[in-house]
Amino acid sequence: MSIDLSSLSFLVVEDSAYMRTILRTMLQGFGARKIVEAEDGASGLEAMDRANPDILILDWVMPILDGADMVRMIRTQNNPYAYIPIIMVTAHTERSRIIEARKLGIHELLCKPISAKALYQRIASIILQPRDFVKTAGYFGPAPREIRGHKKNWDGNKVLTDANSAMV
């Protein structure tokens, strides 16, 4: 299945110039034409306004402002990009890191070394299986997926949706 990414804009925030090149090349290979890059979380936040991205691809470990801190700043209801789909990239795949990523409110986690197939699958998941946003006392982000057939009951907490979260 091929998805047309030519109309979507991507912001790639990664401190390694080499990894930014790899990600940009993969995105271009998928048909993406609007790709903006930043080398750390602080410049990534600045780039958000000029790039107006549809999808954010973000490294976890970076100088100045790391990916987790950037997500915390984005996932506030008063942020204009609060509902942006986020793919977090990391080489740290221990269980505690994966649980933290979920609590941060990212959409997808991509483990290094990355492959084109894995990146494409994460983008396709965001586009083809959009998730409503959930606001609870301790969480704001995409509704968690079903796990082993058990759907999470949010105990009556308000489920937030946004037309931009569906992407296409």
Annotate the chain with three-state secondary structure: CCCCCCCCEEEEECCCHHHHHHHHHHHHHCCCCEEEEECCHHHHHHHHHHHCCCEEEEECCCCCCCHHHHHHHHCCCCCCCCCCCEEEEECCCCHHHHHHHHHHCCCEEEECCCCHHHHHHHHHHHHHCCCCEEECCCCEEECCCCECCECCCCCCCCEECCHHHHCC
Residue 157 has pLDDT above 90, yes or no: no
77-130 confidence digits (pLDDT tens): 789 999 999 999 999 988 998 899 989 999 999 999 999 999 999 999 999 999
Tens-place pLDDT, residues 116-127: 999 999 999 999
Q: What is the pTM of this model?
A: 0.85
